[in-house]
Amino acid sequence: MKKIIIILSSIIVIIFIILMIFLFNTDSKNKDIDNVKENETTENTKEKENNEFSTLAYYKEENLDRYKTYQTNNPDLSIEDIVTRVNLNLDKDVYTDTLPAINLNTNYLLVNKFYYLDSNYIPENLELLDSSYAKSGIYLVKEAKDNIERLINDAKNDGMNIRVISAYRSYSYQENLYNNYVKNDGVEMADTYSARPGYSEHQTGLVVDVTRAYDNFNNFENTDEYNWMLENAANYGFILRYPKDKEDITTYSFEAWHYRYVGVELAQKIKASNLTFDEYYIRYLESDNN
């Protein structure tokens, strides 16, 4: 009897030990699974944090590293501004990694210090402006010309006297202009106020420089005509192309006199957005045209 009791209790002890080992194993396996899950979640959150940019419609996968670097260097900028500026190549020096402009002969044509026009690009439908409101011998694309005439006539009815002093400029004209500036002031200085040939928006045939009639264009900012333009130009398809306080985006100093034709609907949208043409192009036009 005593023997049987010893055997039985031994069996019970062994069963107990086996049971304990089994329970412990299951528990640690569960813990392992929990750990894996936890790691996966952390990684997903991390990936999302790193790539908060990808939520934007104009995000470009190939620019991800540049977005991150730009964000590190400009921690106060919004995600939208970071992606927009990097897509505009503003993390690079002007005139580097340049590309031929696309959307030729459309109102969406973007020309800046990263997108250039070929030396033989001449816009279609150029028409001579009338010397009653423009410097003699200058041209614009017909649609822009029709609208600047409408603008100048309506402005006149409001007591404004607006005159066009520059419009389409050929590649060779800009080349001469720029080379003369370089001769006088050096490349570095000339680059601050003049576009290099091929990079001037005037070559699109969609741009006017205006003044109060027979006044110096440098004074345009201080005139009623300028305020009239700010208020009304978009209704005729024109936008102020190089606004004040946007130099870091346009890479041009404020030019009160320089207006770009983009069509009435787009001009009104751009004006309402408070964005420059460059920014608006990246956010809303580029992907539509691809």
Cα 15 to Cα 236: distance, rounded to the nearest angstrom: 92
Buried b (16+ CB within 10 A) or exposed e, 246-273: beebbbbeebbbbbbbbbeebbebbbee
By beta-carbon proximity to Zn ion, the closer residue of 82 and 140 is: 140
By beta-carbon proximity to Zn ion, the closer residue of 258 and 271 is: 258
> Would residue 80 show up in a list of annotated catalytic residues for this protein?
no
Q: How far is the CB of 266 from Zn ion (least distance, A)?
A: 19
Cα 239 to Cα 247: distance, rounded to the nearest angstrom: 16
For the packed helices 79-87 and 64-73, what is the interaxial angle rounded to 10 degrees?
Answer: 120
Residues 33-72 that bind Zn ion (CB under 5 A): none
Q: How far is the CB of 192 from Zn ion (least distance, A)?
A: 14
Tell me the longest C-alpha to C-alpha distance in the chain: 130
Q: How far is the CB of 209 from Zn ion (least distance, A)?
A: 4
Q: Choose the stretch contacting Zn ion; rule: CB under 5 A; options: 3-11, 58-66, 146-154, 209-217.
A: 209-217
By beta-carbon proximity to Zn ion, the closer residue of 209 and 225 is: 209
Closest CA to 156 of 240, 212, 236, 208: 212
Site string for Zn ion, 243-282 (x = CB under 5 A): ---------------x------------------------
By beta-carbon proximity to Zn ion, the closer residue of 82 and 167 is: 167
Q: Which of 209, 225, 278, 286 lies at the binding interface for Zn ion (CB under 5 A)?
A: 209
Q: How far is the CB of 136 from Zn ion (least distance, A)?
A: 18
How many residues lie near Zn ion (CB under 5 A)? 2
Cα 116 to Cα 184: distance, rounded to the nearest angstrom: 24
Q: Choose the stretch contacting Zn ion; rule: CB under 5 A; options: 8-16, 89-97, 102-110, 205-213.
A: 205-213
Edge to edge, what strands does the sheet with 238-240 contain? 162-166, 207-212, 258-261, 238-240
Q: How far is the CB of 222 from Zn ion (least distance, A)?
A: 18
By beta-carbon proximity to Zn ion, the closer residue of 209 and 279 is: 209
Cα 255 to Cα 252: distance, rounded to the nearest angstrom: 8
> 124 phi and psi, to 5 degrees?
-75, 155
In order of 86, 128, 129, the CA distances from 146 in angstroms are 36, 11, 10
By beta-carbon proximity to Zn ion, the closer residue of 89 and 166 is: 166
Q: How far is the CB of 255 from Zn ion (least distance, A)?
A: 6
Query: Count H helices, E strands: the chain?
Result: 11, 8
Q: Choose the stretch contacting Zn ion; rule: CB under 5 A; options: 93-101, 157-165, 172-180, 202-210.
A: 202-210
DSSP code at position 285: I
Residue nearest to Zn ion (CB): 258
Cα 149 to Cα 151: distance, rounded to the nearest angstrom: 5
Catalytic residue among 149, 201, 255, 286: 255
- Contact of 208 with 238, CB cutoff 8 Å: yes
User: Active-site residue numbers?
Assistant: 255
Positions in the binding site for Zn ion (CB under 5 A): 209, 258
